[in-house]
Structure 1
Amino acid sequence: MSFLKIDNVTKRYGAVEVLHRVDIDVQQGEFLVLVGPSGCGKSTLLNMIAGLEEISSGTIAIKDKPMNGVHPSKRNIAMVFQSYALYPNMTVGKNITFGLEMHGVPKEDRDRAMDKVADMLQIKPLLDRKPGQLSGGQRQRVAMGRALVRDPDVFLFDEPLSNLDAKLRVDMRTEIKKLHQRLGTTIVYVTHDQIEAMTLSTRIAVMNGGYIQQLGTPKEIYDTPNNIFVAAFMGSPSMNLLDAVIRIKGPDAAAEITDYNGHPITLPLPLPAASLAGRDGTKVVLGIRPEAITDPDGADKSAKIVVQMQNKIDVTEPAGSDTFITTTMVGKDVIGRMRADAHVNAGDIADLSINMDKAVIFDPKSEDRIV
């Protein structure tokens, strides 16, 4: 049974429908991330779960109880906002316990709950300070403490890390992950950052244009994207998408592309020709992740199909643990990821290994994945 059930939910503003028939079942203890570009509907959906936006049609239920029309204060949810939303004239301790006080919880119980979350979030030395005396990371911990102290059914996070600098975002991401593993709480988390989505979630809902484009585990989303949008949006750098032609010979299938000189390169596909029946000679979009294009010594030794080729290196970008290269295939820039100590320079004709086990094929018209 779903802990949080979003059933055929739509949202309209007048005649304009901005969320279209969304269906998601969230299990107890799950960490669901809603990810997508600005304006895709993810924050609107989160606000509907919280009760801050009305549901135009469909049902949202928590623990089998429909939430349609239920006031936010009666839903037993806790929300952490991007802006922290702390009371500037109250101390940290008062900010954390204010909600409990409003619900009539005795002071002794409030103090006990505050001590517990302050220990957990390592903010005990901050309890007598005001929000204006805190850093962004400290304020975010206080906002999380205010949510945790209530022991809600569902935690809702609305882009909580977007105001933090890059290093602090990584640190806070780790803290949120530890917190979820320790408490086993049910979390719905909104972000436009696909790295946050991949690292935090147990499942991801990729949204675009008010539709769920794909719902799955981080591995499913990354390895087998439903369509070109998901393939391009998820991953950093994103998946290389190349125009290719299917070539079928007997039981074998291949994708034909061109190198930097326009010479044809045949890339065997790790699937039977029958799965591409009727597509011999047709155009497709070949998707290959950057890590599947690397130097020969960095190639996956367990891969079944690794194609060796030479291609000109246009740009190298040392990134510490890796070296990213840009090369040209089918007249397009293609990103590869090599070992940090791979000896490549711009202008070199370098040996490349392409792991075709990781390749996916899309229909160029529908943009859906074929295989």
Structure 2
Amino acid sequence: MGFLDIKNVTKSYGAVEVLHRVDISVQEGEFLVLVGPSGCGKSTLLNMIAGLEGISSGTISIDERVMNGVHPSKRNIAMVFQSYALYPNMTVGQNMTFGLEMHGVPKPEREAALKDVAKLLQIENLLDRKPGQLSGGQRQRVAMGRALVRQPDVFLFDEPLSNLDAKLRVDMRTEIKKLHDKLKTTIVYVTHDQIEAMTLSTRIAVMYQGYVQQLGTPKEIYDTPANVYVATFMGSPAMNVLPVRVVMRDGVPHAAVRAQDGAEQYLRFSQSNLAAWDGREILLGVRPEAITDPDGADRNSANIVPLSNRIGVTEPAGADTFVTMELGGRDVIARMRADANVVSGQDFTFAVNMEKAVAFDPASEERIAP
């Protein structure tokens, strides 16, 4: 049993079920990120944890106490909204301690909590200002501070960085990570940004169409995606997924793929269980960084396979160069070193790290486990 337990939870609006049998157990001090596209149900689930939405079936418990039907004010949770939701007529200090005041916390305790949190967030010099006098990043710190002073059981973040510009978003992401490392608080964080999910979380729940597609650590989600949806949603650029035929050569399964010139080439799999798929088509998933030039290949891998093909588009991107080529009738992206000698239109021998390859069933789009 976890500190926050979500057991077989569903949510319906009339006859339409929008969340389907969600089971997630969050340990105390864990940072869980709910990630997925708009409309996948992640914010609905967060609001159910907060008590802002009712539960159609199942149970949500915090510290072994069932929260079904419990008013939000009685749940000892704190929520940080996308819109900050600060009172414009109050100072920063008043905004941060208003909740404590409403709960009858004595003034000396409120002031002590405000002083500690303001120091932690480095906003001591902003306490007498109004929200309208603050930048977006400062307002976000105040919204976080208002949650922190209450010392709740669970912090809920609803896309808190989506209103910030790109650089500030990165900076605030780092601050939230530092804060969690220091306080070891239990956090449930909603975002549509898979980079935020990967960098902040201890575990990720990838959601789509009201279902949890996969629950796992960032490494598990990235390296062993449960299905094609997770594989292509998590990662930038996304995992390459292309149809291949399994061919047995010398007793070892290989992926038969067609290069741009039509020639069939064979990529040796590392997982032996694919022998059962001999002669059948599967979907091969390979991350862009697992396709590179021979000098840039992972020297720790025991299964680097050469692949000859024509270079399509090259895209210099500072630390990396992205190369697009046609493989199996689809565009495939390779991630090269910045100084890789690649030229559009030229033939090139790529190095494919097949230890990082993932196989999917083309019918169900589920991963074929080793």
Please list, as runs of the form range in 1=range in 2, the aligned pairs for 1:1-371 lying within 5 A after superposition.
1-249=1-249, 251-272=251-272, 275-371=273-369
Deviations 1:245-293 (A, max 9, x none): 0112453111111111111010000022xx1243111011000000000
Whole-Å Cα distance in 1 between the matches of residues 35 and 271 of structure 2? 31
Contact in 1 for aligned 2:253/2:275 (Cα 8 Å): no
TM-score by length of structure 1 reads 0.98
Amino acid corresponding to residue 361 of structure 2 in structure 1: D
Amino acid corresponding to residue 53 of structure 2 in structure 1: E
Amino acid corresponding to residue 61 of structure 1 in structure 2: S
Amino acid corresponding to residue 105 of structure 1 in structure 2: V
Whole-Å Cα distance in 2 between the matches of residues 128 and 267 of structure 1? 65
Whole-Å Cα distance in 1 between the matches of residues 362 and 328 of structure 2? 15
Q: Give me the CA root mean square deviation.
A: 0.8
Whole-Å Cα distance in 1 between the matches of residues 311 and 129 of structure 2? 55
Whole-Å Cα distance in 1 between the matches of residues 260 and 127 of structure 2? 61
Partner SS, residue 104 of structure 1: coil
Deviations 1:18-75 (A, max 9, x none): 0000000000000000001110000000000000000000000000000000000000
Deviations 1:3-32 (A, max 9, x none): 000000000000000000000000000000
More divergent stretch after superposition (69-78 vs 301-310): 301-310
Amino acid corresponding to residue 296 of structure 1 in structure 2: P
Amino acid corresponding to residue 39 of structure 1 in structure 2: G
Partner SS, residue 362 of structure 2: coil
Indicate how the Cα distance of structure 1 residues 164 and 240 shifts in structure 2: closer, same or farther if over 3 A, else same.
same
Amino acid corresponding to residue 240 of structure 2 in structure 1: N
Contact in 1 for aligned 2:252/2:275 (Cα 8 Å): no
More divergent stretch after superposition (277-286 vs 82-91): 277-286
More divergent stretch after superposition (260-269 vs 347-356): 347-356
Amino acid corresponding to residue 279 of structure 2 in structure 1: G
Alpha-carbon distance, 1:316 to partner: 1.2
- Unaligned regions of 5+ residues in structure 2, if any? none
Whole-Å Cα distance in 1 between the matches of residues 127 and 80 of structure 2? 19
Deviations 1:130-161 (A, max 9, x none): 11111111100000000000000000000000
Alpha-carbon distance, 1:319 to partner: 1.3
Partner SS, residue 108 of structure 2: helix
Tell me the matched-pair count: 369
Alpha-carbon distance, 1:310 to partner: 2.3
Alpha-carbon distance, 1:348 to partner: 2.1
Deviations 1:153-182 (A, max 9, x none): 000000000001110110000000000000
Partner SS, residue 270 of structure 1: coil
Whole-Å Cα distance in 2 between the matches of residues 158 and 248 of structure 1? 49
Alpha-carbon distance, 1:318 to partner: 1.2
TM-score by length of structure 2 reads 0.98
Alpha-carbon distance, 1:345 to partner: 2.0
Contact in 1 for aligned 2:137/2:164 (Cα 8 Å): yes
Whole-Å Cα distance in 2 between the matches of residues 206 and 267 of structure 1? 30
Percent identity of equivalent pairs: 71
Whole-Å Cα distance in 1 between the matches of residues 316 and 258 of structure 2? 26
Partner SS, residue 129 of structure 1: coil
Instruction: Show structure 1 runs of 4+ deviating over 3 A.
Output: none
Amino acid corresponding to residue 139 of structure 1 in structure 2: R
Amino acid corresponding to residue 308 of structure 2 in structure 1: Q
Whole-Å Cα distance in 2 between the matches of residues 206 and 237 of structure 1? 17
Partner SS, residue 278 of structure 1: helix
Whole-Å Cα distance in 2 between the matches of residues 118 and 247 of structure 1? 63
Alpha-carbon distance, 1:233 to partner: 0.3
Amino acid corresponding to residue 311 of structure 1 in structure 2: N
Alpha-carbon distance, 1:320 to partner: 1.1
Whole-Å Cα distance in 2 between the matches of residues 156 and 331 of structure 1? 44
- Unaligned regions of 5+ residues in structure 1, if any? none
Partner SS, residue 101 of structure 1: helix
